[in-house]
Chains A and B, each alone.
Chain A
């Protein structure tokens, strides 16, 4: 009897993962942060540098 209970518990243990694992919400929305702002800032700096240099040549 003791062995039977032990076998049953051992067989049932892996099933816990099936019971506790809930499926993902089928419609999780995507998120969309704006990237590449560092590059844009660098481009702005380069533009300003060129403008100032052009002005100095004049």
Chain B
């Protein structure tokens, strides 16, 4: 098979290279998630349980009387919120990682640090989100659908987009010429 077209695209267009690498990463991520992580369940369980425990601990610390049972967190007297697979931020973490890995440039140490820092930040953002959910069910139960629907846009979007922007800025400053796709004389 002739791969010269692909090789040429990868060499001359950083955008094409980015989109292709990102696409491959996302496909790999979903395969790994669907066929290994989801059936195995340990990572999902860890994220859900630790998120619920941390959120419950913080609410308790701030004075709310809470009820927590495995994946369920509730301010006492309410139905509470259940953090199932898909609610624990793992999919979002995969999306975040895909962009950081695919965007060219930047030293590997900084990339790893950015990945680790971002994952930790997103985990704690999800803890904050779980707290907001538990409190919203207690104080404004009629607005549950709105709080649930728009929480991602107000909590995760600013964090992920800021981190992505910072990474593009950092990696552009330190991008090796052979990865940039542009000649030094242009």
A contact set with B: CB distance below 8 Å: 26-37, 40-41, 43-45, 47-49, 51-52, 55-56
**What would be 7 A-B contacts, judged by CB atoms less than 8 Å apart?**
A27-B78, A32-B130, A32-B133, A33-B84, A37-B152, A43-B161, A48-B168
Are A30 and B83 in contact, CB atoms less than 8 angstroms apart? no
Which residues from 102 to 151 on chain B have a C-beta closer than 8 Å to any C-beta of chain A? 103, 126, 129-130, 133, 137, 144, 148-149, 151
Nearest-neighbor residue (CB-CB) of A41 within chain B? B95
Q: Does B82 contact A (CB under 8 A)?
A: yes
Docked Cα-Cα span, A24 to B133, in Å, equals 22
State the B residues within 8 Å of A (CB). Answer: 14-15, 18-19, 22, 26, 72, 74, 78-84, 86-87, 89, 91-92, 95, 99, 103, 126, 129-130, 133, 137, 144, 148-149, 151-153, 156-157, 160-161, 164-165, 168, 172, 180, 182
CB pair B168–A56 under 8 Å, yes or no, is: no
Q: Say whether chain B's binding surface is mostly helix, strand, loop, or mixed.
A: helix
What residues on A are CB-neighbors of B81 within 8 Å? 29-32
For A36, the closest partner residue in chain B by CB is: B152
- Chain A: which residue is nearest B155 at the CB level? A34
The residue in chain B whose Cβ has the minimal distance to the Cβ of A25 is: B79
Q: How far is the CB of B27 from chain A (nearest CB, A)?
A: 13
Assuming A33-B86, A36-B153, what are 19 further A-B pairs, CB within 8 angstroms?
Answer: A27-B78, A27-B80, A30-B80, A30-B133, A31-B82, A31-B84, A32-B130, A32-B148, A32-B151, A34-B92, A34-B156, A40-B157, A40-B160, A44-B164, A47-B168, A48-B19, A48-B168, A51-B172, A55-B14
C-alpha spacing A34/B182, complex, angstroms: 38
Contacts A31-B84, A47-B161 given: A37-B18 contact, CB under 8 Å? Answer: no
Provide the residues of chain B in CB contact with A35, threshold 8 Å: 149, 152
